[in-house]
Structures are given as C-alpha cells and as structure tokens.
Structure 1
Amino acid sequence: MPLRLRKLIGMVALIVFIGVYVLIVLSVASARFADAPWWSHLIFFAVGGLLWVPPAMAIIKWMERPVDDGRR
C-alpha cells in the first residue's frame, strides 16, 4: 500500500477512533459518575484521558511503517 494512502486511512481512523472514544467516555462518566465525589471524577478522567494513547500510537506506527515494495 502506498505511504500516502496509508497515512490518509490512518488519519481518518484516528479521527473516527477519538470521536467514538470521547463519546463513550463521556457517556460512561455521565451515567456512572453523576453524583460521585470530585476525586472519583478526577481519577476517571485522568485514566480515561490516557487510555486513548496506546491505540492511537498503534495506528500511527502502522501509518509510519516503511513501504514494502516487494523488491529485494
């Protein structure tokens, strides 16, 4: 797959993933933590704010992989 196409697919995947992830985290927060104390909100959003990084890193690593054109 050409590098430019892989980067386009990866960017679309990142935007969709982050959008869906934000909606899920906010839905869980509003459903589970509406009446919770402030410190539980802090912990939840600190963890939730970092959990998107490993999948995003995997997508970025896939995007930046060298092109294997089959010649050796």
Structure 2
Amino acid sequence: MSIDPRHYHQPSWRKPAGMLTIVVLILLWAVMVGSLSPFIGALPMWIQVPVYVVLGIVWIWVLPLKRLLAWMETGRWR
C-alpha cells in the first residue's frame, strides 16, 4: 500500500513547540499564583474563592494562550 502524495501532510514543528510553551506558561503562572498564596491566604475565605477563580480564568486572556493555539494550527497569530 503506497501513500497518496496528495493526502500526505508534513508534520509541523509548531505543535510540539506550542505545547512546550503552554506547559512552561502554566508552570510560570502556577509559581506566580503560589507566591501570592500567603497574601491571599490571609484574606477571608469568601474573598479567597473569587480571587483564585479570577486568577484561574484571567491567565487565558492575559497570557497569549488563544493566539498561541491559533498559531499552532494556522501559523498565524490572528
């Protein structure tokens, strides 16, 4: 069985590079949030929960995660 050259797709280096970048960004974000934990831990529980929820959601918008995923698929940042 031979490979039809019209359907052969050369693997892109962008996906492994993007996945490694995402792992590094997650680790950096976790260290940053973890370093804030003594300050956040001193707050009342009813304030801690929204702070951690916001920090968990914000990193998707603040860090270029959406654009990074688009770049991994298309090769373009937009």
TM-score tier after normalising by the smaller chain length: 0.7 to 0.9
Note the aligned Cα RMSD (angstroms). 2.0
**Residues of 2 paired with 1:60 and 1:3: CA distance?**
16
Unpaired runs of 5+ in structure 1?
68-72
TM-score normalised by the chain length of structure 2: 0.71
Say yes or no: does 1:56 pair with 2:70.
Answer: no
> Relative contact order (C-alpha < 8 Å, sep 6+): which is higher?
1
Percent identity of paired positions between Structure 1 and Structure 2: 26
Q: Is the 8 A contact 2:41 2:48 kept in 1?
A: no
TM-score normalised by the chain length of structure 1: 0.76
Unpaired runs of 5+ in structure 2?
1-9
Greater C-alpha Rg? 2
